[in-house]
Structure 1
Amino acid sequence: MLNQEESRQFNRMDVFCAIDYKFPDAEESYVGECLNISGSGILFRGKHRLERGMALELAIATRNDLTTPLRAYVEVISSKEVESEQYEVATEIKGIREY
């Protein structure tokens, strides 16, 4: 659902689905959970604390007709621990292509 009360440039859409994340040019990927997407960023939960400025490649397999599966190239904006070994990672989208 879109959150219209945000004072952001883009509205966020809650999207709860699987997400694979990896470092560019790396073979190994990790599984997380996408929490929301906006026109400028993606928020997801994973088991790694990631440093601000790190580049990631995200593969998002959505379960709805509004958001098609996609691959996004992002930069980590923040990462905070929300549970033991669970981190919420805010990212800024740098590029997108269809999955």
Structure 2
Amino acid sequence: MLEYDEKRNYIRMEIDCDVTYRLAGSDELHHGRCSSISGAGVSFIADRLFDPGKAMEINVIPKNTVTPSMTAFIEVIRSAQQDDGSYEVAATIKSIKGD
């Protein structure tokens, strides 16, 4: 058995579900796909590049109705263009919005 030393504070979970996102202070809503999430961060596919430090609101929408959606305030860490022209955005979760 291979040993693995996890260096993250929170385990990252690979997921595939819809997200909506918008820049802080904007009403312009965009749609994307969430690719991973942890207790401290999120990664999603967007239609444009976002500069590091940008504040955003994201709503992660699970595929099943058992798990509720999650709305969080995030800060972009990095954004990288993918082969298909979309952008993978990695961000730190700053807070989770309550009901």
TM over 0.5: yes
State the identity as a percent. 32
Say yes or no: does 1:11 pair with 2:19. Answer: no
- Match of 2:46? 46
SS in 1 for 2:50: coil
Unmatched segments (≥5 aa) in structure 1: none
Residues 20-31 of structure 1: matches in 2 within 5 Å?
20-31=20-31
Higher strand share: 1
SS in 1 for 2:96: strand
Aligned residues: 96
Residue type of the alignment partner of 1:72: A
Unmatched segments (≥5 aa) in structure 2: none
Residue type of the alignment partner of 1:94: K
1:82 CA displacement: 1.1
Deviation per CA, 1:21-71: give whole Å up to 9, x if none. Answer: 101221111111000110100000111110000001001111247753010
Larger-gyration structure (1/2) = 2
Pair 49,86 (structure 1): closer, same or farther in 2 beyond 3 Å: same
